[in-house]
Amino acid sequence: MPDALGVGVIGLGEIGQFHLRGYARSRGARPVAVADMNATLVASSSAEYDTLGFHDYHELIADPGVQVISICLPHSLHTPVTIEAVRAGKHVLVEKPLAISVAECDQILAAAQSAKVIVGLQHNQIFYPAHVRAKELIDSGAIGRPLQLRLRLAIGGKYQGWRTDPAVAGGGILFDAGVHRFYLARYLFGEIVEVSAVTDKPRTDGEDQAVVSLRFGNGALGVIDASYHGPAKMFDDAVEIVGTEGALYLSGVEAEFEGFRTGPALRLYDGAWHDLRVPGGDWADSVAASIQAFVDAVRTDAEPPVPLREGRRVVELIEMAYAG
Ligand SMILES: NC(=O)c1ccc[n+]([C@@H]2O[C@H](COP(=O)([O-])OP(=O)(O)OC[C@H]3O[C@@H](n4cnc5c(N)ncnc54)[C@H](O)[C@@H]3O)[C@@H](O)[C@H]2O)c1
């Protein structure tokens, strides 16, 4: 094992830049190659991180100096690029969602199993300190028996580019920012045993608005309400949790990142509301922490913090929501 694993980042758009920063400040890995079909991004990123730069990601995958690959591409490319990378013997961190269907997830799982490499998901919000603290409070019984979870998301305007094509994105808002709500729901309340949704448009037209009902294995109920119909440019997300003895309110980590701070990160109700101090980082730090945990898993040959089966389950739940 080298002192620092050589990392290649494929896709240098919004999140690819955060992956590069995360690896650059990580212990045990460093960026050595970047790839994107956008030549300007290749030039600027390879200059900033002193890496090789490729316009064709096949060349990055084949490069012997690359041991770990981050896939930061539009969703429909996750499956072919992940499979090519694992067949080349590379460890892979895939951005959410794992793929655009359960069938594709299974192709990735099969390829990863025979390649004996480590493949994990970038579900960064479970590394956000206020989410971690909320889970600790729930698990310790601080709110009694968890009964109700609401994950709210309102974005002021639909994201453009590849996200407007449901064949590329996998659907609409549920298959993009919605993904974070599904894995966060499982992280906080455990397995989801029943899911259904109403949407403004079918998946194949790319829904802009969805209300998802959840039933958890512990008997609790949940709601994900997500929409692109907020006032222009606004971003609002929040998590509300109710138990028999208390409640928690989390002002959204993405809203804070987007400049829409709506209050303290975490509040606890136990007869009165208290603002809880949660030391630690913000959304960008959660990406870096997620990357560090993945690097640690690769270096110690351990199961990644977010394994493939978790990425598959989230895609399965979204497909169940569309079906219901
Ligand atoms: N974890 C998070 O909070 C978070 C935030 C944003 C995006 N994401 C995820 O990250 C992934 C990328 O999203 P984004 O917002 O960075 O998208 P983006 O459009 O900003 O960047 C995608 C990049 O991929 C490049 N690309 C597309 N097709 C290519 C090809 N065939 N070969 C080489 N390069 C190609 C594009 O040129 C672009 O630079 C998605 O899976 C998305 O869901 C996650």
Q: In angstroms, what is the span from residue 256 Cα to ligand 1's centroid?
A: 21
Q: In angstroms, what is the span from residue 93 Cα to ligand 1's centroid?
A: 13
Pocket of ligand 1 contains residue 41 by CB under 6 Å: yes
Judge contact between 87 and 30, C-beta under 8 A: no
- Position 263 scores a pLDDT of 84
Pocket of ligand 1 contains residue 31 by CB under 6 Å: no
Query: Residue 192: beta bridge partners?
Result: 216
Q: How far is C-alpha 85 from the geometric centre of its chain's CA atoms?
A: 20
- Position 324 scores a pLDDT of 84
Pocket of ligand 1 contains residue 80 by CB under 6 Å: no
Judged on CB neighbours under 10 Å (0-12, 13-18, 19+), 323 is: exposed
Pocket of ligand 1 contains residue 37 by CB under 6 Å: yes
Pocket of ligand 1 contains residue 183 by CB under 6 Å: no
Joined together, the tokens standing for residue 274 give 């208290």
Q: In angstroms, what is the span from residue 16 Cα to ligand 1's centroid?
A: 7
Whether 5-124+285-307 shares its CATH topology with 125-280+317-323 is answered: no
Pocket of ligand 1 contains residue 163 by CB under 6 Å: no
Pocket of ligand 1 contains residue 297 by CB under 6 Å: no
The Cα–Cα gap between 302 and 295 comes to 10
Query: Residue 215: beta bridge partners?
Result: 194, 221
Neighbours of 268 (CB within 10 A): 19
Q: In angstroms, what is the span from residue 162 Cα to ligand 1's centroid?
A: 9
- Position 159 scores a pLDDT of 86
| Residue of 17, 37, 55, 69 best suited for mutating to test ligand 1, as the one with most atoms within 8 Å of CB | 37
- Position 225 scores a pLDDT of 97
If the chain, 324 residues long, is cut into consecutive pieces of 10 residues, what is the mean pLDDT of each piece?
93 98 98 98 98 98 98 98 98 98 98 95 98 98 98 93 97 98 98 98 97 98 96 93 98 89 91 94 95 98 98 98 94
* Atom in ligand 1 nearest the alpha carbon of residue 75: 41
Q: In angstroms, what is the span from residue 263 Cα to ligand 1's centroid?
A: 30
* Atom in ligand 1 nearest the alpha carbon of residue 159: 15
Superfamily holding 5-124+285-307: NAD(P)-binding Rossmann-like Domain (3.40.50.720)
| Per-domain residue ranges of the chain | 5-124+285-307, 125-280+317-323
Q: In angstroms, what is the span from residue 71 Cα to ligand 1's centroid?
A: 8
Of 247, 220, 246, 224, nearest to 237 by C-alpha is: 224
Q: In angstroms, what is the span from residue 17 Cα to ligand 1's centroid?
A: 10
Helices 39-49 and 14-24: crossing angle in degrees, nearest 10, is: 10
Distances (CA, A) of 253 to 130, 170, 250, 265: 9, 24, 8, 8
* Atom in ligand 1 nearest the alpha carbon of residue 15: 16
Of all protein residues, whose CA lies closest to atom 38 belonging to ligand 1?
13
Written in H, E and C, the secondary structure of the chain is: CCCCEEEEEECCCHHHHHHHHHHHCCCCEEEEEEECCCHHHHHHHHHHHCCEEECCHHHHHHCCCCCEEEECCCHHHHHHHHHHHHHCCCEEEEECCCCCCHHHHHHHHHHHHHHCCCEEEECHHHHCHHHHHHHHHHHCCCCCCEEEEEEEEEEECCCCHHHHCHHHHCCCHHHCCHHHHHHHHHHHHCCEEEEEEEECCCHHHCCCEEEEEEEECCCCEEEEEEECECCCCCEEEEEEEEECCCEEEEECHHHHHCCCCCCCCEEEECCCEEEECCCCCCHHHHHHHHHHHHHHHHHHCCCCCCEHHHHHHHHHHHHHHHHC
Q: In angstroms, what is the span from residue 77 Cα to ligand 1's centroid?
A: 10
- Position 2 scores a pLDDT of 81
Instruction: Assign domain 125-280+317-323 one CATH number from 3.20.20.70, 3.30.360.10, 3.55.10.10, 3.40.50.280.
Output: 3.30.360.10
Pocket of ligand 1 contains residue 95 by CB under 6 Å: yes
Query: Residue 16: beta bridge partners?
Result: none
